[in-house]
Amino acid sequence: MEQPPPDTKDWTWTIQLRCPECGLEAGTIDVPGVADRLEAAAVEWVQILTQNPAADRRPSPRIWSPLEYGAHVRDAIELYDARLVMMLIEDTPTFKNWDQDEAAIVGDYARLDPDRVAEEIAGYSATLVARIRALEDSQLDRRGTRSDGAEFTVRTFLQYLLHDIVHHLWDVTGQQAEV
């Protein structure tokens, strides 16, 4: 199957600025707000995957289907949770690079069961949301570095990951986030 062009954009600007595509202004959302919005976004993902009979259909040959986006979101949530744990237990860890386009091919996203992916999104996001809600203020300035050198605190990392998940909802639905 033909693959979409790789996404090499650096999205760290979305921590500072409102995203003109999905409409989210992640940098203005506090940590409890991130947890609430992430929880709501996961519910939307589950609905998209379980209620759309054409979830596995690509809108055009080079654009991922909702199922492929959903599988990417599932893996991203799992990875973000693992990185959050690293930031909490290690001093300024560096995250390994994740090749998301490779992951889509190796993980055979296009042929997964949408109901199963929905269940996995619900499970991983519940774990991550619970971990975010358990954070103490003293942990929010702990740091982590991406393999490309981008630096995050726990706070900006959470804002960044929320944008990622919400932006992919926009990729699939075309609807902007509520401000």
Q: Is 21 or 115 the residue whose CB approaches Zn ion more closely?
A: 21
Q: Is 49 in the site for Zn ion (CB under 5 A)?
A: no
Closest CA to 80 of 26, 125, 33: 125
Number of Cβ within a 10 Å radius of residue 5: 7
End-to-end CA distance of the chain: 37
Contact window for Zn ion (CB under 5 A) among 13-21, 55-63, 110-118, 126-134: 13-21
Choose, by CB under 5 A, the member of 22, 38, 129, 158 that binds Zn ion: 22
Q: Is 177 in the site for Zn ion (CB under 5 A)?
A: no
Closest CA to 140 of 32, 37, 38: 32
Q: Is 88 or 150 the residue whose CB approaches Zn ion more closely?
A: 150
Q: By CB under 5 A, how many residues form the interface with Zn ion?
A: 4
Distance CA 112, CA 157 (A): 29
Contact window for Zn ion (CB under 5 A) among 20-28, 32-40, 72-80, 81-89: 20-28
Q: Is 26 in the site for Zn ion (CB under 5 A)?
A: no
Residues 112-171 touching Zn ion, rule: CB under 5 A, are: 167
Distance CA 19, CA 21 (A): 5
Q: Is 42 in the site for Zn ion (CB under 5 A)?
A: no
Q: What is the DSSP string of 36-48?
A: HHHHHHHHHHHHH
Q: Is 29 in the site for Zn ion (CB under 5 A)?
A: no
Q: Is 21 or 151 the residue whose CB approaches Zn ion more closely?
A: 21
Contact set with Zn ion (CB under 5 A)? 19, 21-22, 167
